[in-house]
């Protein structure tokens, strides 16, 4: 791969990661209860960013998939104890979305 392609991909991923981190911050702070990131945001990158922020896998809710699509749901707990669901599709289907799963307001 030439250096320009590599650099373009690295810069694009950094911009994407910045947007994801900003979305996670809004969820943590309660500014948003749901953020739709769209079709082209990788599920794995959202989970990786959440883990970097200190989010942990919710031990009470398993990773879930449906039986006919590559749709998936993953539950995490933020450092301030919010249960959050990250949903996505590993191919085509659900938009990647982050939402507060339940809140004791």
Q: Domain total for the chain?
A: 1
User: Could you say which DSSP state residue 42 is in?
Assistant: -
| Position 105 confidence tier, pLDDT thresholds 50, 70, 90 | very low
pTM: 0.86
More confident call, 72 vs 19: 19
Question: What is the spatial distance between Cα 88 and Cα 79, in angstroms, rounded to a whole number?
Answer: 22
Tell me the residue range of the domain where 80 lies: 3-102
């Amino acid at each position: 791969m030439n250096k320009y392609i590599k650099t373009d991909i690295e810069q694009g991923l950094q911009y994407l990661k910045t947007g994801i981190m900003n979305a996670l911050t809004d969820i943590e702070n309660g500014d948003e209860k749901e953020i739709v990131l769209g079709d082209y945001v990788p599920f794995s990158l959202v989970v990786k960013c959440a883990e970097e922020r200190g989010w942990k896998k919710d031990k009470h809710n398993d990773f879930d998939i449906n039986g006919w699509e590559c749709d998936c749901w993953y539950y995490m707990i933020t450092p301030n104890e919010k249960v959050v669901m990250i949903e996505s599709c590993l191919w085509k289907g659900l938009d990647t979305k982050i939402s507060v799963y339940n809140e004791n307001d």
